[in-house]
Amino acid sequence: GTEKLGDAKLASGDAAGAATAFDQGLALAKARASDERDNMEAARDLSISLTKVAALARAQQDYKAALET
């Protein structure tokens, strides 16, 4: 989904595009985890999305954003 798109954009040097894709993925993962509280796959997907957003922020030396994720 959006994480793979974000990974591809990041690999091609498009950090802004990757951030957009990761943010979209995070919004979807948050909504799904909220709607499906007992679904462990939804919780895992949320964890992955949070990690991707924080890792990109950290790589861009935006430590405040990385900590807030």
Give backbone dihedrals phi and psi of 23, rounded to 5 degrees, phi first.
-65, -40
Choose between 66 and 54: higher pLDDT.
54
Our measurement of the distance from residue 35's CA atom to the centroid of its chain's CA atoms, rounded to an integer in Å, reads: 18
Proportion of the chain above pLDDT 70, given as a percent? 99
Q: Rounded distance, CA 42 to CA 48, Å? A: 10
| Mean pLDDT for the stretch of residues 11-40 | 96
Q: What's the pTM?
A: 0.85
Any idea what DSSP says for residue 13?
T
| pLDDT of 3 higher than 90 | no
pLDDT at 63: 79
Q: Which among 15, 2, 9 is positioned nearest to 58, based on CA atoms?
A: 15
